[in-house]
Amino acid sequence: MCGRYILASKIKTIENRFNVNVVDNEAIKPNYNLGIGQKAAVITDDNPKEIQFFTFGLTPFWAKKQMYLFNARTEGDHNKENNPKYSGQKGIIVKPAYRKAIRSQRCLIIADAYIEGTTKEGLNKPYLIYVRDLKPFSFAGIWDSWYNPESNEQINSFSIITTTANELLQKLPHERMPVILEPSHEKKWLNPNTPLSDITRLLKAFPAEKMNAYPISNDIKNKKTNSRYLIEPQGDRLLKEESFETRNTLRKAGMGRYK
């Protein structure tokens, strides 16, 4: 499950990372507690060169009232025990709420990190989960447009696709995680001509060795709280990181100019 995430990167960083334009600069501000029902930055398949702002929590086009389907399971109704070794059907392609969107309404959901609690304690024991050396990254998402019959307002919304947990998330422990796309797969995800079989092959857990996590304050539970202190470490990282020490050694050892 992924119901909270963070996007605090500067506009220019986002534009350069995804080769897009941010038209509404005022709409994209640092958000350290982005949750269900809020507007968030996405890149859609029908407008891949521009950042748009959709509601977190998908309402299918056929719904009679607004819904907030914030996570879409890759397995659909299969793998209810969340077996991390599951390799069966991708049931998302037949679920009524998602079967149209997974084929023709895909999006990238931009994030710097996300928040996850343990299976038993939830956000009483939260962790910040991030991808090493990649900020921002993208969740695999699907979107839809719904017309409110009372106000005649069009509401564009999205859902984050989830899969079974990798080894890092299992350490929390937690059974599930969002699908994070490799940068090299992002264009394929947005391309409307990508075969559905290729799309479903992308719906897998991101490599644990490229990620890390650390505990944060459970003040994150309060949806109205939004400050940088929320993501300050409250303990050690789950995996030791030595990349800084390695880069520092290389910088001192060579690659300089010769006279």
pLDDT in tens, 133-182: 999 999 999 999 999 999 999 999 999 999 999 999 999 999 999 999 99
Separation between Cα atoms, residue 50 and residue 66, nearest integer Å: 26
CATH architecture classification, 4-253: Alpha-Beta Complex (3.90)
Are the beta carbons of 45 and 34 closer than 8 angstroms? no
Q: Which helix (H) or strand (E) holds 201?
A: helix 196-201
Residue 173 is predicted with a pLDDT of: 97
Q: Is 46 helix (H, G, I), strand (E, B) or coil?
A: coil
Separation between Cα atoms, residue 85 and residue 50, nearest integer Å: 37
Name the β-bridge partners of 155.
146
**Per-domain boundaries in the chain:** 4-253
**Residue 48: CB atoms within 10 Å:** 17
Residue 83 is predicted with a pLDDT of: 97
Residues of the chain with pLDDT under 50: 244-259
Q: Which helix (H) or strand (E) holds 245?
A: helix 243-253
pTM (2 d.p.) = 0.92
